[in-house]
């Protein structure tokens, strides 16, 4: 019997469906709307209309809800890179997993 692969995640993942504004050269120079599947302190997985290449740089903005922040909602702008692309969504969308390399909290709108 094969051994189970070891867990690679070092931070807790939250299964959250949040709106995400994604900016990527391969997608569009402007922002494209996406929806998150899950979020952690080091990464995110979201569904988007267009595929991007693994290793490509990516920027995205999301709003963390009070359930996560334990205060009010907080907008976060992130820069990172794509680590995995999944073309398996039933609705034709592409799953993109990205690592977060840097982030900043944005002032309230």
The pLDDT tens digits of the residues spanning 66-81 come to: 887 899 999 999 999 9
- CA geometry: angle 14, 68, 103, nearest 5 deg: 85
Give the residue-averaged pLDDT of 78-86. Answer: 95
Distance, CA of 92 to chain centre:
18
pLDDT digits (tens, 9 = 90+) for 91-108: 888 999 999 999 999 987
> What does the pLDDT read at residue 1?
47
Residue 76: predicted pLDDT = 95
What average pLDDT score do residues 60-66 get? 92
Cβ distance 57 to 95 under 8 Å? no
pTM for this entry = 0.80
Give the span between the Cα atoms of 86 and 108, in whole angstroms: 33
CB neighbours of 79 closer than 8 A, spacing ≥ 6? 57, 58, 59, 100, 101, 102, 103
Instruction: Determine the Cα–Cα distance for residues 18 and 35; give it in Å rounded to an integer.
Output: 5
- Tally of CB atoms within 10 A around 68: 14
């Amino acid at each position: 019997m094969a051994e189970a692969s070891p867990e690679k995640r070092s931070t807790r993942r939250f299964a959250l469906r949040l709106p995400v504004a994604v900016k990527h050269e391969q997608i569009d120079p402007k922002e494209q709307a996406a929806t998150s599947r899950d979020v952690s302190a080091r990464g995110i997985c979201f569904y988007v209309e267009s595929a991007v290449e693994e290793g490509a740089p990516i920027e995205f903005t999301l709003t963390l809800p009070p359930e996560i922040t334990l205060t009010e909602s907080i907008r976060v702008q992130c820069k990172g890179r794509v680590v995995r692309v999944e073309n398996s969504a039933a609705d034709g969308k592409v799953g993109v997993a990205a690592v977060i390399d840097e982030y900043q909290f944005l002032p309230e709108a």
